[in-house]
Amino acid sequence: MSKRSLLLVAGAGCVLLASRPAAAQTADSTAKATAVPNDSLYLRARKLVLDGNGGAGRALVDSAVTATTGTPEYATALYWRAALATTAADAERDYRRIIVEYPFSTHSGDALLALAQLEMARGDRDPAIDHLQRFLLQHPNDPERVRAGISLGRLLLEQNQQARGCAVLLRTRAALGDTAVEVRNQVDYYASRCVGVDTTAPPPRVASQPTQPQPARAQPANAQPRKPQPRTDTLPSPRPATKESARIDTARKPAARRDSGSAATTKKRYTIQVAAYDTKSAAEELASRLAARGIVARVIDTGRAPYRVRIGHYSTDAEATTAARDLKGKGIEGFVTTTDNEAATTPARR
């Protein structure tokens, strides 16, 4: 098994470690001890978790997260915190943060795969398909592309997307070496459903040619002019208001100011972060594109990079999570965070 596979197996199975026998845990830690030889702190933390001392192991990783804040190593610390998290929800939050905020991290591909595994485990096939497709698109030379291709092909077949699933499996099989007999057999097992399936892309639609205007017919000299007929067509009725439109309209209205003495002013606020950039201009450009789609975004300017792009203010984590799910349906990936570090903001350009 490759180094990347070992890391992902450790991350995907973190919640089950507490129930493993001590002997099996020790064997796992020994087998994986050479996965990342330079990350001695993270290896030590993982061994503690595997040996049943999860509190001490996670405390080591938490200290690394604090120590690396604002440095290039921060994304690595986040990844290990996710890989050793006690719950799938905690792991998913850090994986999403890596994907959105640190897309060029060495662990961004690991986070995409681990997130897809968590989604497949709970039956969320559509987001799992999305993250596997992004992995194959953004990391074409990653050693785990074959395993990701098999998972993606299988999920597409289960969703009755025969042509797409078979195309992925056939491409995956073509990328295998001559010695990958076991993996080839696995691909062939799923590809057995592809017999007779046309995997070629449909031809693009040809735009219809504009109709040539017909020449006007000559009218007799004694012909009476035609009276205009009343129109019988009606304008389409307006679309009914939806929860989505109501939410967008509410977001556009300025929030009412709270009384300084109310208890709500001390309540933690939640928001959704969709991107982070090294330059303020890039962040403002994304905020402007979102505004053009009717989504109010803001740029968080603390005086130095990263410049974060965030959407919305929410009273509870549950409200923010629901809004993040709605944004994902529009193709906007984000994660829930707090507004604690919003010292200064720059509104989106309109």
Q: In percent, how much of the chain has pLDDT > 90?
A: 23
Return the higher-pLDDT residue of 3 and 47: 47
Residue 33 exposure: Cα atoms within 13 Å on the Cβ side: 9
Confidence band (pLDDT; 50, 70, 90) for 112? very high
Confidence band (pLDDT; 50, 70, 90) for 278? confident
Domain positions in the chain are 3-143, 267-347
pLDDT at 25: 34
Judge whether residue 320 has pLDDT over 60. Answer: yes
Return the higher-pLDDT residue of 84 and 221: 84
Supply angle C-alpha 146, 150, 156, rounded to 5: 140
Q: Judge if pTM exceeds 0.85.
A: no
Residue 108 exposure: Cα atoms within 13 Å on the Cβ side: 15
pLDDT at 35: 40
- Select, from the ranges 29-43, 143-157, 247-261, the one with the highest average predicted confidence (pLDDT): 143-157
Judge whether residue 204 has pLDDT over 60. Answer: no
At the topology level of CATH, where does 267-347 sit?
Alpha-Beta Plaits (3.30.70)
pLDDT at 78: 93
Judge whether residue 238 has pLDDT over 50. Answer: no
Mean pLDDT is lowest, of 259-268, 269-278, 308-317, 339-348, for 259-268
pLDDT at 256: 41
Q: Which residues face 335 on adjacent strands? A: 273
Question: In this structure, what token pair is assigned to residue 328?
Answer: 């994902």
- As a whole number, mean pLDDT of residues 68-83 equals 91
pLDDT at 240: 41
pLDDT at 224: 60
Strands 270-277 and 307-314: antiparallel
Mean pLDDT (the chain) is 74
Check if the beta carbon of residue 314 is closer than 8 Å to that of residue 271.
yes
Confidence band (pLDDT; 50, 70, 90) for 219? low
At the topology level of CATH, where does 3-143 sit?
1.25.40
Judge whether residue 253 has pLDDT over 50. Answer: no
Check if the beta carbon of residue 313 is closer than 8 Å to that of residue 138.
no
pLDDT at 1: 42
Question: In this structure, what token pair is assigned to residue 102?
Answer: 């640190």
- As a whole number, mean pLDDT of residues 39-59 equals 90
